[in-house]
Structure 1
Amino acid sequence: MPGFVGAIKVNSVSSSAVFHVGDAYYIQPISSAKTYAGGGSFNTGNGINVQLGQSETIVFDRDVID
């Protein structure tokens, strides 16, 4: 269903984002990333207590290219 759109202000659009105005049947942003980190790496907040013994991050990629 067509619609009328008023003024639009776009400050920024990242590389994996989609900015679309109007009708669309199918939109698919394509982006991929790999992140390797050890145990307790992405904890956020107040009063976090992480107790790790031996930690190992395996970064072997069998197919090499994604």
Structure 2
Amino acid sequence: MFTKSNKYDFDFVKENMMGPNSMKILEEVSESLKLEKGMRILDLGCGRGLTSIFLAKEYDVTVFATDLW
């Protein structure tokens, strides 16, 4: 379970996550989104961009991310 998010460095994830288990939650949710290579995603309120990086790397999508933070 969580084969995609578990391969990221724990310290990097801990330092950059903005909420509890954000990558694991995103991995679970993204399976139902049927993401395809080349899709474009808008990530509003991305925080430090951890989930945006995850989506771009794991699903080969283009992510446009912004935050007021």
**TM score, norm. by length of structure 1:** 0.18
Relative contact order (alpha carbons < 8 A, sep ≥ 6): 1 or 2 greater? 2
Larger strand share, 1 or 2:
2
Give the structure with the higher percent helix: 2
Rg larger for:
1
